[in-house]
């Protein structure tokens, strides 16, 4: 039986986080009343001319620098012609032969290790408006607020070999565009959309099979399921001796299947040609240098630095660098904790992320400041509170009960390290449990745990555990060994 | 290069223009006349010559990313054949 290999390339449309549209000064804010953010240029009224937004070009340059791609010093816009009511000009302004970003690559983590995925190109284009069906019988409603919103289309080479790899790539890119502040990454609002080119071929073959393009993938789960479904469909067809027809397919999430949207036979002839309304864009070396100077430390470099500088595991460093605000929080927290980096990483990936998940909050909605959480680590480290009661302080911080020191004072959580007080508690417990003391002294060492627990209970959890242990053993005397 | 009648009808379809058979024949002649001119121009050796985007050596000016256009929906929708509840309405489009 033939073993099949899945071959996937992704086209991602990232909506750029500019204030205004790519060719007009209308706002791009999401959720406005229909057509209140569609100006004369977006409506394609006669005589209007597009003027390119510097912010959109700058964001494309940022992506190009992050993926190590050459930035074309001269870049050209082209018209892609087709008719649809939500595209009033009758063409979309896009880029064809000379995109801003050409090349580059992205390193992804897969089940079998790291893998470099080549990127073909990233070009700027404008989004279309929205068609609303079913608003009135026999009519289609048009909202042009989205018309002219800047998109960066990022096209990968067909280097992905499974649905899981495609998802890993999409997630890495999703993190990157948010890290670079060029896209808000909101998939529900359509700010990050994927199309997948899927084909299959016998393992060992070096030629590509006929591909189908799947559109409408607006979540990582749908991306994975659609590729799995589509690969199975193609393999079944081939095993039955049929051929694959090159076509565009739509993923239907309700039925978990893909279906034909349009076939190659009635393929669009987009008649691309350079847009005479727009001159070539020239990007100077100085502009690129300025942009580079303004770039944040890239996530994979920061991850390596967290491992090298703080001795974190690569796994923890990976979690902490999945979102930029998280990495920044971590480093601020380490400072506030007096350099207890590993404890900070443990508390962040443990208590803090668990609490955020429980409350279904994004990291940016975290109610505890890095300074306060770092201070709590410091208080645990210096013995002011025990590690166990530190968790009580954490809960109180989360509930907004005040600062770390206020909570420790108000709730009386300060750890007891006064040997006189601990000694008194030990004497009390030894008097209360003579049978257990005798058993311990007769050689039953397990009884020590019971007695430690009783003293800890008597201290309401506040006794310094190490000190308690040492003092208890001393006061009990050595157990005798029968043999 | 020259177009046959089928090509003319295909271009007309792409441009969403209804063209009768008689018109198509007339357009075929006119378009092929233009192609003859293009053929003459293509005889020129342009090897190593960069395509010219503008008669002067200028490039695209860029706009700062600042909102300069505000809501004028009422004015714009007064021009539309059909609009209601903030939407423009067109005959139903079936995908």
| Whether B62 contacts chain A with CB within 8 A | yes
Give the fold, CATH level 3, of A419-477.
Arc Repressor Mutant, subunit A (1.10.10)
Chain A residue numbers with beta carbons less than 8 Å from the beta carbon of B63 are 25, 51-54
With cut-offs at 50, 70 and 90, classify the pLDDT of residue A478: low
Tell me what the mean pLDDT of segment B4-12 comes to.
90
Q: What mean pLDDT is predicted for residues A215-244? A: 94
For A104-147, write each residue's pLDDT tens digit.
999 998 888 999 999 999 999 999 999 998 888 899 999 999 99
* Residue A436 structure tokens: 């257990």
**Which residues neighbour A158 within 8 Å (Cβ) at sequence distance 6 or greater?**
A7, A8, A9, A197, A199, A208, A211
- Which of B54, B65, B85 lies at the smallest CB-CB distance from A53? B65
Q: Does B77 touch chain A (CB under 8 A)?
A: yes
Using CA atoms, how far residue A32 sits from A37, A134, A239, A273, B84, in Å, is 7, 20, 50, 33, 16
pLDDT band of residue B55 (cuts 50, 70, 90) is confident
Rounded to an integer, the average pLDDT of B58-83 is 95
Q: Which of A140, A144, A265 to mutate to test the interface with B (most CBs of B within 10 A)?
A: A140
Give yes or no for residue A44 having a pLDDT over 60: yes
Does the beta carbon of A135 lie under 8 angstroms from any beta carbon of chain B? yes
- Tell me the C-alpha distance between A390 and A376, whole Å: 7
CB of B21 within 8 Å of a chain A CB? The answer is: no
pLDDT digits (tens, 9 = 90+) for A300-320: 999 999 999 999 999 999 999
Chains A & B: contacts with CB separation below 8 Å: 122
When scoring A24, A25, A268 by the number of chain B Cβ atoms within 10 A, the one with the most, hence best to mutate, is: A25
User: Which pLDDT value is given to residue A448?
Assistant: 85
ipTM over 0.95: no
Among A185, A150, A148, A212, which Cα is nearest to A18's? A150
State whether residue B55 sits within 8 Å of chain A by CB.
no
Cα distances (angstroms) measured from residue A328 to each of A66, A259, A310, A334, A369:
19, 44, 14, 10, 12
Shortest alpha-carbon distance between residue B61 and chain A (Å): 7
Residue located via tokens 């020239």: A282
**Domain locations in chain A?**
4-287, 297-411, 419-477
CA A351 to chain centre: 20
Residue of A nearest to B64 (CA): A54
- 3-class DSSP assignment, residue A239: helix
Set of chain B residues whose Cβ sits within 8 Å of the Cβ of A33: 73, 86
Give the pLDDT band of residue A467 (cuts 50, 70, 90): confident
Q: Report yes or no: A406 and A458 within 8 Å, Cβ to Cβ.
A: no
* Burial of B56 from C-beta contacts in 10 A (0-12 / 13-18 / 19+): exposed
Residue A292 has pLDDT above 90, yes or no: yes
pLDDT of residue A163: 97
Q: Do A281 and B88 touch (CB under 8 A)?
A: no
Contact A198, A346 (CB under 8 A): no
**Mean of the per-residue pLDDT values of chain B:** 90
The pLDDT of B29-52, averaged and rounded, is 91
**What pLDDT, on the 0 to 100 scale, is given for residue A480?**
60
Q: What is the distance in angstroms between the Cα of B22 and the nearest Cα belonging to chain A?
A: 25
Share of chain A above pLDDT 90, in %: 70
Beta bridge partners of A273: A79
Give the tokens for residue B66. 């600042």
Closest-CA residue of chain B to A74: B59
Task: Give the mean pLDDT of A347-361.
Answer: 94
**pLDDT score at A440:** 87
- The two structure tokens encoding residue B20: 């009768």
> For chain A, what is the mean pLDDT?
91
Residue among B16, B59, B66 whose CB faces A19 most closely: B66
Please report the DSSP string for A318-385 in residue order.
HHHTSSHHHHHHHHHHHHHTTS-HHHHHHHIIIIIHHHHHHTT--GGG-SS-HHHHHHHHHHHHTTSS
What per-residue confidence (pLDDT) applies to A263? 61
Across A355-373, average pLDDT: 93
CB B69 to CB A271 under 8 A?
A: no
A193 pLDDT above the threshold of 90: yes
Q: Report the Cα A367 to chain-centroid distance in Å.
A: 20
* B38 reaches A (C-beta below 8 A): no
Q: Find the mean pLDDT for residues A392-419.
A: 86
Does A366 contact chain B (CB < 8 Å)?
A: no
Q: Does any CB of chain A come closer than 8 Å to the CB of residue B16?
A: yes
């Amino acid at each position: 039986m033939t073993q099949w290999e899945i071959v996937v390339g992704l086209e991602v449309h990232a909506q750029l986080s500019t204030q205004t549209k790519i060719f007009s000064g209308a706002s791009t804010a999401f959720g406005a009343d229909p057509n209140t953010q569609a100006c004369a240029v977006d409506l394609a009224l006669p005589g209007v001319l597009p003027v390119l937004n510097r912010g959109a070009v700058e964001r494309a340059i940022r992506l190009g620098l992050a993926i190590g791609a050459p930035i074309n010093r001269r870049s050209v816009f082209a018209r892609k012609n087709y008719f649809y009511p939500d595209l009033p000009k009758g063409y979309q302004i896009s880029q064809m032969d000379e995109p801003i970003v050409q090349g580059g690559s992205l390193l992804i983590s897969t089940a079998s290790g790291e893998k470099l995925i080549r990127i073909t190109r990233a070009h700027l284009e404008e989004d279309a408006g929205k068609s609303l069906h079913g608003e009135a019988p026999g009519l289609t409603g048009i909202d042009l607020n989205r018309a002219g919103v800047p998109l960066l289309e990022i096209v990968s080479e067909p280097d992905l070999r499974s649905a899981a790899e495609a998802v890993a790539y999409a997630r890495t890119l999703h993190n990157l565009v948010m890290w670079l502040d060029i896209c808000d990454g909101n998939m529900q609002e359509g700010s990050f959309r994927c199309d997948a080119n899927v084909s299959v071929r016998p393992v060992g073959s070096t030629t590509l099979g006929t591909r189908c393009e799947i559109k409408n993938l607006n979540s990582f789960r749908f991306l994975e399921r659609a590729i799995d479904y589509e690969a199975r469909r193609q393999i079944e067809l081939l095993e039955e001796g049929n051929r694959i027809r090159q076509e565009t397919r739509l993923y239907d999430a309700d039925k978990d299947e893909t279906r034909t949207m349009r076939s190659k036979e009635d393929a669009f002839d987009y008649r691309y040609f350079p847009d005479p309304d727009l001159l070539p864009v020239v990007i100077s070396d100085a502009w690129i240098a300025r942009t580079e100077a303004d770039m944040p430390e890239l996530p994979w470099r920061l991850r390596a630095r967290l491992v090298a500088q703080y001795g974190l595991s690569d796994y923890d460093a990976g979690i902490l660098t999945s979102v930029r605000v998280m990495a920044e929080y971590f480093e601020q927290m380490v400072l506030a904790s007096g350099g207890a980096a590993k404890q900070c990483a443990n508390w962040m990936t443990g208590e803090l992320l668990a609490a955020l998940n429980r409350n279904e909050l994004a990291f940016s909605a975290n109610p505890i400041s890095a300074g306060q959480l770092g201070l709590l680590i410091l208080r645990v480290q210096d013995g002011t509170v025990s590690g166990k009661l530190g968790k009580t302080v954490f809960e109180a911080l989360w509930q907004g009960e005040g600062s770390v020191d206020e909570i420790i004072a108000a709730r009386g959580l300060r750890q007891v390290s006064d040997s006189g007080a601990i000694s008194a508690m030990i004497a009390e417990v030894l008097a209360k449990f003579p049978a257990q003391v005798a058993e311990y002294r007769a050689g039953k060492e397990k009884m020590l745990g019971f007695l430690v627990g009783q003293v800890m209970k008597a201290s309401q959890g506040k006794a310094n555990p190490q000190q308690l242990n040492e003092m208890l053993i001393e006061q009990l005397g050595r157990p005798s060994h029968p043999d | 290069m020259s177009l046959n009648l089928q090509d003319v009808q295909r271009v007309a379809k792409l441009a969403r223009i209804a063209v009768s058979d008689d018109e198509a024949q007339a357009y075929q002649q006119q378009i092929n006349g233009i192609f003859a001119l293009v053929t003459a121009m293509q005889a020129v050796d342009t090897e190593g010559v960069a395509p010219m985007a503008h008669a002067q050596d200028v490039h695209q000016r860029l706009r700062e990313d600042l909102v300069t256009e505000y809501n004028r929906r009422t004015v714009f929708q007064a021009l539309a054949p059909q609009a209601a509840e903030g939407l423009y309405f067109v005959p139903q489009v079936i995908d």
